[in-house]
Structure 1
Amino acid sequence: MNIVFRLLTILGLILALTACNSSDNIHGNRWSAPGVSDTEIRLGSSLALTGHAGYLGTQTLRGAEAYLRHVNDHGGIFGRKILVEAKDDFYDPPHCLANTQRFIIDNEVFALFCYVGTPTTVKVLPLVEEAHIPLIGMFTGANALRQPFNRYVINIRASYYQETEATVRHLVEDLGIRRIAVFYQYDAYGFDGLIGTELALKDFGIEPVARGSYTRGTLDVEEGLERIRKSGAEAVVMVGTYGACARFITLSHDKGYDPIFYNVSFVGAEELARRIGPDSKATVLMSQVVPQPESTGTEEDSAAGQYVTLLKRYFPDDTPSFVGLEGYLNARILVEGLKKAGPNLTREGFIDAIESIRDFKLGPGMSITYGPQDRQGLEQVHFTRLDHGRFMPFSDWESLKGRQGDAQ
């Protein structure tokens, strides 16, 4: 299987290079990048559109499309419209790898865009490196996309390490909680969140009192829940998808176990809230890497407000979400890079243009700067709390003091 994979990769790169040279000869060197013509810039997106992570992929894509359609309706970038070819990978690494191989072999996309998930995205990193194709705006905070440095990988959001570090600091310093467990998806995504939590706890001289896991694509949380419940953990860091995490929280309530539940941003706030239900009494927190997706009345200064406005215009039946806002921001940075790259668009020129972005404002307290060795856009971590079926901004950690005494 490895031999076949390598052969397909090499064949794809040969075909890509051949097509680039052919394009230069036929069109008089007006462009030299695959996926670029006089009228279009084509992008490839592999993400979950169906299945147990389908909500995440759909929201990411719609958020991005809301802005890209707006740009296209206003003439595109130097007369070129931006088109996204989205392929469903079902949140399955082999499918994501196959989709990406096809994008590269067919030589019809300029860049890879809005990939969703850690186990899927990290699988294609060798292809990205070999093909020298930009990969921009991933809905994952995995450390593997940040270390080691990769010229062609462009992150917009904060990392899971940053999310878990901020959370552990609040739990330990503000609430005095030291009995903390981790519930995680047994794959690259879950391991990343587990390691981030362990590193953050280590700074305080402690380690998780229990670790419980489940298999990706299932709702088999009972074994992990029982291990964590018996540990007497006062808070549970959750690194999973919305279905498994909602079931864990619901079953905990049924068993009379009531710790503080904390979820990383990838879980998907709106869908998690819907599955838990509006009447839940559980204390559920979630870190976010973007602000609240709502209209502020000053849309010209707020990417969040612009997202809400454009989503209503292009997807009137959809509801704004944190995930969708991430997709929107991905598109904003993509477009800014394309503008800076100029009309003679190449992949290397695009990467150089991204590196030149400095203090690009996206709203109050939110700006992005890149550099030759910097592919991390946003650094902020925001907190929300489940309140009557909706995650709302949260900062009053003092109000949670004493809650840990309810965990039994």
Structure 2
Amino acid sequence: MARSIRFCLRWALFMGIFMFAAGCDAPLGVADRPPASYQVDETRILLGSSLALGGHAGYLGTQTLHGALAYLHHVNERGGVHGRRIELIAYDDGYDPPRCVANTQKLIIEDRVFALFCYVGTPTTVKIVPLVEKARIPLVGMFTGAYALREPVNRYLFNVRASYYQETAAAVKHLVGDLGIRRIAVFYQYDAYGFDGLKGTELALRAYGLTPVARGSYIRGTLDVEEGLARIKESAAEAVVMIGTYEPCARFVREARADEFNPLFYNVSFVGADELARRLGPDGDGVIVSQVVPPPESVEMQALLPGVAEYVRCLARFFPEDKPNFVSLEGYINARVLVEGLERAGRDVDRESFIDAVETIRDWDIGIANTISFSPTDHQALEEVYFTRIEDESFHLISDWQVAGSANPPSVKRHSAEE
């Protein structure tokens, strides 16, 4: 008997070491959980999130969380969903993939959450996909446009926003087609997020017979932009596609302008537009940022779109210290999708019936000008990409690209689209 116990202990130790050495993202025990071992009782539904609540991406995580909670608090004040309150456990991962994996393991195994919700970032989110699949737990609303989370369609992953491929394709179309810019460089974060945006840009440029004239990068969590900036400046780029977060991208633009290098700077939505503008100050004028939701600060947009106006009211009610911004509006929309799925699933909800319910959402109008749709073969709700330009530290929708381009004089002569 003792020999048998010792053998079992040695075997367990060996398997633990083997799994660790293999770099397995899904810890032992997750898949062994009974399917019903999660928190849905008579009074509440428990959700879990891992996202950056501090550090160099803390603004993104905090605002995503606040936007989502604004709507969840609103729903709870009105009695919840089918008589149940929605509660959310949020852990700080600091935009660090290993911490995100550990947090997710805890949420699934110890906290026994019903679903995962509002994760932030490509390098963190892609690492927990094996956990999601093993636990067969839905993950709704990720603040990332990564292609790997969209193709092939994963039954347990629900994207709300447009992808980075869509953002960069639309940007390149305007840069090349409307402005005649052909010398385009890419500045990117050296990880899964940056690689995804870089590939999307390369694919978009290829359609015009072009490739990036230079590629510069920085390491996630650092502000080491000088080498990448030097390489891009040397290329005489007319425009720079930027795939990064607000702090290093702001430093890149400030140092470029100080060095009298003034191409057209374009950032994808994950940069955290409002925080980018705040950090750039006067140096931000002319910087372009793509968005995947309408501009919520615009009084005209609030009057035109009832869904945006409702978001502004909820945010003021529950987080009065926050200004309306693109990031928290996205979190708010994520929460609306999640609640709609729970409503459609009914009182006897489980994870699989919830997934089936979300997949029935078709052309659902939430008052943001673009309807929301899912299906078993399409787990991305929105397709629209907006373009905004920073002027006096605020954002303005671009309606005329010729005006947007001419208002930001480049450091080199632009070419016509026919050249």
TM-score, normalised to structure 2, is 0.90
Name the aligned partner's letter for residue 367 of structure 2.
G
Please list, as runs of the form range in 1=range in 2, the aligned pairs for 1:241-280 lying within 5 A after superposition: 241-277=245-281, 279-280=282-283
Name the aligned partner's letter for residue 303 of structure 1.
G
Name the aligned partner's letter for residue 344 of structure 1.
D
* CA–CA separation in structure 2 for the residues paired with 1:33 and 1:178: 56
Report whether the alignment pairs 1:326 with 2:342: no
Q: Offset at 1:12?
A: 2.5
Report whether the alignment pairs 1:141 with 2:145: yes
- Residue deviations 1:110-136, cap 9 Å, x none? 000000000000000111111110010
Report whether the alignment pairs 1:291 with 2:294: yes
Report whether the alignment pairs 1:3 with 2:3: no
User: Moved runs in structure 1, 4+ residues, more than 3 A?
Assistant: 4-8, 294-301, 400-405
* CA–CA separation in structure 2 for the residues paired with 1:114 and 1:39: 22
- Residue deviations 1:350-375, cap 9 Å, x none? 00000000111022521111111110
Partner of 1:205: 209
> When the two structures are aligned, how many residues end up with a matched partner?
393
Match of residue 165, structure 2, among 128, 153, 161: 161
Unaligned regions of 5+ residues in structure 2, if any?
1-16, 413-419
Q: Offset at 1:281?
A: 6.3
SS at match of 2:260: coil
Residues 1:299 and 1:90: Cα distance change in structure 2 (over 3 Å) = same
Report whether the alignment pairs 1:314 with 2:330: no
* CA–CA separation in structure 2 for the residues paired with 1:340 and 1:281: 44
Residues 1:146 and 1:2: Cα distance change in structure 2 (over 3 Å) = farther
Match of residue 391, structure 2, among 364, 384, 387: 387
Name the aligned partner's letter for residue 64 of structure 2.
T
* CA–CA separation in structure 2 for the residues paired with 1:395 and 1:7: 45
Partner of 2:200: 196
Residues 1:7 and 1:371: Cα distance change in structure 2 (over 3 Å) = closer
* CA–CA separation in structure 2 for the residues paired with 1:280 and 1:320: 22
Q: Which has the larger radius of gyration?
A: 2
Residues 1:129 and 1:281: Cα distance change in structure 2 (over 3 Å) = closer
* CA–CA separation in structure 1 for the residues paired with 2:284 and 2:277: 12
- Residue deviations 1:34-60, cap 9 Å, x none? 121110110010000000000000000
* CA–CA separation in structure 2 for the residues paired with 1:86 and 1:331: 14
Match of residue 339, structure 2, among 313, 335, 342: 335
Please list, as runs of the form range in 1=range in 2, the aligned pairs for 1:15-30 lying within 5 A after superposition: 16-17=33-34, 20=35
SS at match of 1:368: coil
* CA–CA separation in structure 2 for the residues paired with 1:337 and 1:220: 43
* CA–CA separation in structure 1 for the residues paired with 2:266 and 2:284: 14
* CA–CA separation in structure 1 for the residues paired with 2:37 and 2:81: 15
Name the aligned partner's letter for residue 283 of structure 1.
G
Name the aligned partner's letter for residue 245 of structure 2.
T
CA contact (8 A) 1:259 1:403 kept: no
* CA–CA separation in structure 2 for the residues paired with 1:135 and 1:281: 35
CA contact (8 A) 2:26 2:128 kept: no
Name the aligned partner's letter for residue 293 of structure 2.
V
* RMSD (Å), alpha carbons: 1.8
- Residue deviations 1:68-105, cap 9 Å, x none? 00000000001110011000000000000000111111
Report whether the alignment pairs 1:303 with 2:307: yes
Percent identity, aligned pairs only, is: 59
Residues 1:197 and 1:11: Cα distance change in structure 2 (over 3 Å) = same
Name the aligned partner's letter for residue 11 of structure 1.
G
TM-score, normalised to structure 1, is 0.93
Residues 1:72 and 1:101: Cα distance change in structure 2 (over 3 Å) = same
CA contact (8 A) 1:258 1:282 kept: no
Please list, as runs of the form range in 1=range in 2, the aligned pairs for 1:6-405 lying within 5 A after superposition: 9-14=27-32, 16-17=33-34, 20=35, 32=36, 34-106=38-110, 108-277=112-281, 279-280=282-283, 282-294=285-297, 302-402=306-406
Q: Offset at 1:289?
A: 0.1
Residues 1:202 and 1:2: Cα distance change in structure 2 (over 3 Å) = farther
Unaligned regions of 5+ residues in structure 1, if any?
21-31
